[in-house]
Amino acid sequence: MTKEQVRQAILDILTEIAPDEDIHSISDDGNLRDQIDLDSMDFLDIVMELRKRFNIEVPEKDYEFLATMSSCVNYLFPLLGDRKLAS
């Protein structure tokens, strides 16, 4: 996966858990929590979707890396970089 594909994977997850939010307006460096109305229940869902879709575990101490879009991509890229997208 490229960084752009990792970003898209995160957007797909956000679309699933917050279908009414305007996902495309998300800026890379702003806090996700503030840009779309996410709370701790939503963060649990992001983590659960990552586990379900890519079989990766995000331990609770690493939740801080999910704060912004760019920190998400930077955190997940090494974990997902060698994955191929299912075609």
Which stretches of the chain bind other proteins, using CB under 8 A? Answer: 16-20, 37, 39, 41-42, 44-45, 48, 51-52, 60
- CA angle (68 as vertex; 56, 85 as ends), nearest 5: 40
Least Å from the CB of residue 43 to other proteins: 11
Task: Fill in the DSSP letter of residue 37.
Answer: T
Least Å from the CB of residue 49 to other proteins: 8
Q: Cα(59)–Cα(85) distance, rounded to whole angstroms?
A: 24
* Nearest CB to other proteins, comparing residues 4 and 20: 20
* Nearest CB to other proteins, comparing residues 3 and 11: 11
Least Å from the CB of residue 52 to other proteins: 6
In a 13 Å sphere around the CA of 63, the CA atoms on its Cβ side amount to 13
For 54, residues 6+ apart whose C-beta sits below 8 A from its C-beta are 9, 79, 80, 83
* Nearest CB to other proteins, comparing residues 3 and 42: 42
